Structure 1
Amino acid sequence: MDTNLEIARDLVERCKANDRSAQMALYRQYCDGMFCVAMRFVRERDDAEDLVQEAFIKAFRKIQQFR
């Protein structure tokens, strides 16, 4: 199995167990890419940062549903 995939799966499982360090690691892994996408949509830095923050909040609240 791909090592990156194993790491991502491990992070998600740890996030499901409410591991704050895993949440931060997952955030750091994906925040830059998500920010770039958000900037394409809203074109304002503050708005893009808010969108990324809201997306992560929603994701972590529903992480139990992720398979």
Structure 2
Amino acid sequence: MTKGRESNIKDITYKVDLDVSEGLKALKALNRESRKAISSLKELEEQHRKMSDLQGDVK
């Protein structure tokens, strides 16, 4: 604000109505699929650990 000038700023209110249901559905689906992928990776990691343990026992 410039010195010596008064501000004439008024309050402005906006109402926004958005439909985000499709976006929320997509995010939920993405979250569901990412949880499945994480579960699969954990299972793969466990199997890899078991195989590594078995190979260590053979040597």
Max Rg structure? 2
Q: TM-score w.r.t. structure 1 length?
A: 0.29
| Normalised TM-score (structure 2) | 0.33
Higher percent of residues as helix: 1
